[in-house]
Amino acid sequence: QAYVNTTFRGASGLVDLDRITGTRTPQSAFFSLTNFVVDEDVIDDDSQVGEHVLPQVRFKGVKTAVLHSGTWTVIKPYTFNDGTHTIPLDLPVVIEHARGLGTGIVVVG
């Protein structure tokens, strides 16, 4: 009980704990979401490694959103691995065959 009644200053500011759950209150939390993308502004020469020439790729961190006082604020759209701003599906799309059976069932059955 003494723990949840504690308020202290942390790295991101004042830490206030919910008296019922013991978790940090959204009002005292600060989070930022950083997206690491290829830095198109930096042009480096290729690098010689032994007899191979390898292209150099540099990344930069781009702050895309912040959570402050329980509210997310979008600063810039997040860029996903495919280069778009569209959230990818968690699983691949199931392809149905003409008989209406999913791919897994056709392979097994």
Q: How confident is the model at residue 52 (pLDDT cuts 50, 70, 90)?
A: confident
Asked if residue 82 lies in contact with residue 89, where contact means CB atoms within 8 angstroms, the answer is no
How confident is the model over 53-104, as pLDDT tens digits?
777 778 899 999 998 877 899 999 999 988 899 988 887 777 766 566 555 6
Instruction: Assess contact for 16 and 28: CB atoms under 8 A.
Output: yes
Instruction: Tell me what pLDDT residue 74 has.
Output: 95
The residues pairing with 96 across neighbouring beta strands, listed in sequence order, are 102
Burial class (CB in 10 A: 0-12, 13-18, 19+), 62: middle
Note the pTM of the prediction, 2 decimals: 0.54
